[in-house]
Structure 1
Amino acid sequence: MATDLHRTVTPSGPEPAGDPTTDTPVDTAAKADQERPAAVRVQGLSRVFDGRRVLDDLDLEIAPGEFVALLGRSGCGKSTLLRILAGLDREISGTALVPRRKAVAFQAPRLMPWKRVWRNVLLGLDGSSADRARAERALEEVGLGERAGAWPKTLSGGEAQRASLARALVREPDLLLLDEPFGALDALTRIKAQHLVGEVWQRHGCAVLLVTHDVEEAVLLADRVLVMDGGVIAHEVDVALERPRSLTDPRFAALRAGLLERLGVDTSAAA
């Protein structure tokens, strides 16, 4: 798997990685490859905005094919971390090793209104790989095969989000980054979208990082749930439940309650 290495940025450019015992530059990417395999390996990652440290010496590993959900209060740095992994923010200190083949889907589908759906799916691909048949295969996978020639303004919210997911999948990513992709959907459409993402992940076998505010969604989809607080991963839970998962499973309810408690939500009244 080809990887990209993002590392500390100084006024003169990216700081060379070095051996802390000798200050000798080392090939961090090659060194990491010799260790246990990881789709994502983040070490000592920090990001400061206007003097406020949003990420504070954060460490994270995601295994190949692992589905990880990231929870946390608004403003805790979840989306900042995702943007860094996507290569959209490089003003960092620390290192982030990520697959070169990665794709992002945001809460807003971000479809170009002057391009038909299939052309939106191919945005950013070079000419040799940007053919309509490839786009239609991705749209078919998310249940939008018949809407390939439609204009984005004619799509429902759920359809637009599926088109955004198809645009991510057409890149055949080793890492799929999802930034609250279901946040703007109605309840029924959201449930359908969650099931679709779970099915797509199982078919493709890529690593997934899902940023969400929905604890139930995190437990439903993820192998592991992380809670961010204070700019670091403050808590993590392995979700050792067989799939498909049931919301009525007492183990599911216990995991959900424990995570809500970590997030400072009092569930005693609901009980």
Structure 2
Amino acid sequence: MHRPEPVIRPEPVIRIEGLTRRFGGPAVLDALDLSVGRGEFVALLGRSGSGKTTLLRTLAGLDDVTEGRVQVPGDVAVVFQESRLLPWKRVWQNVGLGLGARDAKDRAIAALGEVGLDHRVDAWPLTLSGGEAQRAGIARALVREPQFLMLDEPFASLDALTRLKMQAMVGELWQRHRCAVLLVTHDVDEALLLADRAVVLEHGRIRTEVDIDLPRPRRHADAEFNRLRGVLLDALGVEQASH
């Protein structure tokens, strides 16, 4: 009988062991174990209240670890759903904020070039479109060359066409920089287009974990893409139309 070969994961850069978080009621995260390998792209899915935001806040250092163990590298960057740019600073100044180096402007401009915003370097944030603002937010994260990048539903507020363009851009940037990435998303197709692995949380525990071994760039029409979509939608409790 043929047995599938075990998946060999890269050395973990993020380790979560027995992480439990409570806020006066049932555990939001319940003895959670999860790792993200060096250079690995992991998508985190789950319905509202599953624990995704709490996990992200813990990994970002915004919530204390009171039960369990979390190992995160020192160089971490986060991109939120809102770009959170400072309106009184030009775009390049937002991207280079906190670098404190003589070449901060050059590095900021180079990062903006990577996300296709080299023509908006001196613009004010309030003149940017939603997609441009998110590009600037991603440039601000990548200019620090983090080992670990967290993306908190960064495309949720964008229109469908802009979202597709941003997904493609993030995929290209990840392949170029190869930092570990944790993407929090409600979009199953987004997870399948971008990630090496998809994890579905339910009541603070991992319900389903799926390796996405598909060639890139990925196609919605691929039979395996559709099979994995069905697995993830089932795990999320989404009923699928029968054909």
Q: Which residue of 1 aligns with 2:7?
A: none
TM-score of the pair, normalised by structure 2: 0.93
Tell me the secondary structure at the aligned position of residue 191 of structure 1: helix
Q: Report the Cα distance in structure 2 between the residues aligned to 1:48 and 1:124, rounded to whole angstroms.
A: 34
Which runs of structure 2 are paired with 1:63-142 in the superposition (5 Å)?
63-125=37-99, 127-128=100-101, 131-142=104-115
Q: Report the Cα distance in structure 2 between the residues aligned to 1:173 and 1:55, rounded to whole angstroms.
A: 26
Deviation string, structure 1 residues 128-164 (Cα, Å, up to 9, x no partner): 2662111001000000011010000000000000000
How far is the alpha carbon of 1:37 from its aligned partner?
2.7
Deviation string, structure 1 residues 15-52 (Cα, Å, up to 9, x no partner): xxxxxxxxxxxxxxxxxxxxx83110000101112334
Q: Which residue of 2 aligns with 1:39?
A: 13
Q: In 2, are the aligned partners of 1:122 and 1:130 still within 8 Å (CA)? A: no
Q: Which residue of 1 aligns with 2:4?
A: none
Q: Which residue of 1 aligns with 2:137?
A: 164
Aligned length: 234
Tell me the secondary structure at the aligned position of residue 192 of structure 1: helix
Which runs of structure 2 are paired with 1:164-183 in the superposition (5 Å)?
164-183=137-156
Q: In 1, are the aligned partners of 2:207 and 2:235 still within 8 Å (CA)? A: no
Q: Report the Cα distance in structure 1 between the residues aligned to 2:66 and 2:177, rounded to whole angstroms.
A: 31
Match of 1:56 among 19, 24, 30: 30
Task: Give RMSD over aligned pairs.
Answer: 1.3
Q: Report the Cα distance in structure 2 between the residues aligned to 1:124 and 1:56, rounded to whole angstroms.
A: 36
Q: Which residue of 2 aligns with 1:225?
A: 198
Letter in 1 for 2:36: I
Q: Which residue of 1 aligns with 2:125?
A: 152
| Structure 2 runs not aligned, ≥5 long | 1-9
- Residues 237 and 129 of structure 1, relative CA distance in 2, 3 Å threshold: farther
State the identity %.
Answer: 61
Q: Report the Cα distance in structure 1 between the residues aligned to 2:66 and 2:205, rounded to whole angstroms.
A: 14
Greater CA radius of gyration, 1 or 2? Answer: 1
TM-score of the pair, normalised by structure 1: 0.84
Q: Report the Cα distance in structure 2 between the residues aligned to 1:218 and 1:157, rounded to whole angstroms.
A: 21
How far is the alpha carbon of 1:222 from its aligned partner?
0.5
How far is the alpha carbon of 1:91 from its aligned partner?
4.7
